[in-house]
Structure 1
Amino acid sequence: MSKKRREIPVFDHPIIETHCHLDYLRERPLAETLQQSQQVNIEKVITIAVSPENLAEVRQLSGSADWVYGTQGVHPHEAEAYTDAVESEIREHATDDNIVAVGEIGLDYFYDNADRAVQREVFRRQLQVACDTDRPVVIHSRDADEDTIAILREFEQSLSRRGVIHSFTSGPGLAQYALDQGWCLGFNGITTFNKAENVRDIVRMTPIGQILLETDAPFLTPVPYRGRENAPFYLPFIAEKIADIKALPLDQVLTQTYQNSLRTFFPTQ
């Protein structure tokens, strides 16, 4: 007989889902996912753009409910599809009411789905869009710490102090650089994985005032629901894990990460 999975905890304090991909969810109807998320006190959800093909879909989703928001940007996997027209679309909509950041942008040398030189050029171009529109950035960096730091340094004088390196799995050098810039690090279900001690080490070194909670749904489902499609309503498990890793009261983690999310993406709220 299989062991029954633990029910999703419900906390009194609201939580903000800072990074998911609602248009990628397939296991259940989107309305059901959003309803279940509200039932576990997810107050806001940010769904992330990754390619020229889903920029408009993310905008549509971000207007589907007054608590769903989005971003505009092209992931490094799709860098070779980046054009002047795509940049114009991102720039045009970066300041829409329900669009809160430029992202997901950055470098990925692990999969190398796009030429590295093209990735670097597209990263720079989108950072410039963020500078010009005064928007925070959502950054993806995998096996590219040195180049990520080098490119970010080019924009230090003009880039917003609001931003996040999401799904952080990089080394302490990139972590410390981002923290020194005042940005946050985003942590998700990876923190619950048995072999992710390197990520837990970064959680330990990161001030609680610079941690964001995310799921990256439908990917990286946390324990105890690994093997299922991820969803924003699993976020409470990540909050619990962060509290455990940092040996902090759960209420403190919930309160501070909520404030971090507001500061990063909703500074006027």
Structure 2
Amino acid sequence: MLVDSHCHLDFPDFADELDAVVERARAAGVGRMVTICTYLTRFDRILAVAERYDDILCTVGVHPHQAAEEFDVTTVNALVERARHPKVIGLGETGLDYFYDKSPREQQQECFRRHIRASLDTGLPLIIHTRDADDDTMRIVKEETGGQRVKGLLHCFSSGRALAEEALEYGFTLSLSGIVTFKKSEDLRAIVADVPLDRILVETDAPYLAPIPFRGKRNEPAFVAHTAACVAAIKGVSAEELARITTANFFRLFDKAVEQKAAA
């Protein structure tokens, strides 16, 4: 079984054929999908997708792009309250994006801090988006935790070796998307070669970042099998072994998902 640890099934890209998208994922061996929240004000829409299917889970959070728009509603209490739902297994995606800077950096940072506080309150892992913000990302995590540890992952990891090493040392997991399959991603593949197998997840970030051989098309959870096959080749293990390991990693990190697995 594979897990697509990060997709956006509430997006309009899937509205007309969500049942078919989920069935294709199941046929490809994807046993769990996590649909990720990017707007707190659209949480009900994300939750509706998760409640519709036994094998789909969700998160609650605000993407750094939306930090300004959602700043006033993104309180620690609002995150914690929504995180109580049985289907909510993580907080995010949250973090910093200095590449696009769609929200002022100060608001991105404060929203990120609120998610970290909610993670400390709930014990749920953080799903962190970071782009061109490596230093501030780990600095803020360490400032907010003050020596405590929060569980979490760097989603769609495509940063440099220094951030990978610091995140791994802290205890975070790296989640790999279709980017790892791209021809230009030699540096990323070199980093992945050195990441311990027990600290890797795979994801699609669907509808974005479709892996080879689907690059340029709409991504969907079934395609995570191609990313997993690429990672397996990098790590020198079979696709079946990589699926087993990353699935075990997923349930260890997102331990609330174990309860949902039992219920399903």
What TM-score, normalized by structure 2, do the two folds share?
A: 0.92
Query: How many pairs align?
Result: 255
Displacement of 1:86 after TM fit? Answer: 3.4
Give 1:95 shift: 2.2
- Map residues 77-96 of structure 1 onto 2, 5 A cutoff: 77-87=65-75, 88-96=77-85
Matches of 2:125 and 2:254 in 1, distance apart?
Answer: 7
The residue aligned with 1:40 is 28
In 2, Cα distance between equivalents of 1:167 and 1:83? 24
1:2-13 aligned within 5 A? none
Whether 1:60 aligns to 2:48 is: yes
Distance 2:71 2:216 in 1: 37
Change (3 A) 1:159 1:51: farther
1:20 is aligned to: 7
Q: Could you list the structure 1 runs, at least 4 aligned residues long, displaced by more than 6 angstroms after superposition.
A: none
Match of 1:164 in 2: 153
CA contact (8 A) 2:40 2:73 kept: no
The code of the aligned residue for 1:173 comes to A
Aligned partner of 1:261 in structure 2 is 250
> Which amino acid counterpart does residue 92 of structure 2 have in structure 1?
G
Tell me the residue number matched to 1:111.
Answer: 100
Q: Displacement of 1:84 after TM fit? A: 4.6
Structure 1 gaps of 5+ residues are 1-13
* Alignment map for 1:106-255 (pairs within 5 Å): 106-154=95-143, 155=145, 157-160=147-150, 162-255=151-244
Q: Could you tell me the TM-score, scaled by structure 1's length?
A: 0.90
Distance 1:189 1:132, change over 3 A: same
The answer (yes or no) to whether the contact 1:91–1:129 under 8 Å persists in 2 is yes
Runs (5+) with no aligned partner, structure 2: 259-264
For 2:67, the aligned partner's letter is A
Deviates more, 1:190-199 or 1:20-29: 20-29
Q: What one-letter code is carried by the residue in structure 1 that aligns with 2:244?
A: T
- Residues of 2 paired with 1:63 and 1:207: CA distance? 34
